[in-house]
Amino acid sequence: TILSMLKDTDMEFDEIVKNTGKSKSTISVHLKSLREDGIVSYRFDANDHRKKIFFINSKFLGEVQSGDEKELEERQAEFLVKNIMDVDNFKFSFLLFHTLRSNLIQEGININPVLNQSGKNIGAAMYEKLYEEDINKFCDNIIQFWEDNGLGKLEIELGDIINITAYECFECSLLPKKGKPTCYLDAGIFEALFSNYLKKDVDVTEVKCFTMGDDCCNFLVESPDGEAFAY
């Protein structure tokens, strides 16, 4: 029902709730699942950033075959530490990443779920190297890592939620402005880092992005149950 409605027009969250006759919590769960599968995405209302406008974000490209039951070495934390954390080839990878990303956007191919999962794998690999028992030192390590590797400049504010602002963002600063958040890799990294540190699941939402016309990228790290973080 949600997809049939979004097929014809973009819709704000409350409109979807009204037209389906379902509860907000039910629609929220369905939309989250569709977003994670890359089928649906959202942008913020230009007049009210509290409101999300949802739209269909993918098209049929082929069939999905079953993958290997055994986890590939290339996605394990140890492999990522050895081949990404300890190798100084960021400038080439920056060019490679953005060229690939731009061409996929050009062709209308959505790899956002893949980028997000890749970010989670990278964040898991980074965690042990950046970990400090004191959360302020842990955040300082993340900020320093970002600067040392040319990923941009971060500001991290701790409170009931965690507010992360990224300037000169490596992931999206060269991408076309499409009016939608695009830093799924960053979001996955932050999710892995802070879920590991806090020993609980977290939700990461990008509310500002260069590709939305903003002068920075801004991420809100929140507890799914709405409770304030205890550090």
Look up residue 165 and give its two tokens.
């602002």
Instruction: Yes or no: say if 163 and 156 are a contact pair by the CB < 8 Å rule.
Output: yes
**Lowest mean pLDDT segment, chosen from 52-61, 87-96, 170-179, 215-224:** 87-96
- What is the chain's mean pLDDT, rounded? 84
What's CA 81's distance to the chain center, in Å? 21
Fold classified for 73-222: Muramoyl-pentapeptide Carboxypeptidase; domain 2 (3.30.1380)
Look up residue 139 and give its two tokens.
């955040």
pLDDT digits (tens, 9 = 90+) for 52-98: 999 988 654 433 444 445 654 645 667 556 654 565 655 566 667 77
pLDDT digits (tens, 9 = 90+) for 137-163: 999 999 999 999 889 999 999 999 999
Residue, of 90 and 206, whose pLDDT is higher: 206
pLDDT of residue 146: 95
Q: 19 φ, ψ to 5°?
A: -75, -25
Q: What is the pTM of this model?
A: 0.65
Q: How many CA atoms lie within 13 A of 136 on its CB side?
A: 1
Residue, of 18 and 69, whose pLDDT is higher: 18
Distance CA(3)–CA(39), nearest Å, equals 9
Distances (CA, A) of 186 to 56, 61, 104, 217: 22, 25, 18, 10
Binned at pLDDT 50, 70 and 90, residue 165 comes out as: very high
Asked if residue 213 has pLDDT above 50, the reply is yes
- Show me where the domains of the chain are located: 2-56, 73-222
Distance CA(193)–CA(59), nearest Å, equals 32
CATH of 2-56, one of 1.20.272.10, 1.10.10.10, 3.10.180.10, 3.40.47.10: 1.10.10.10
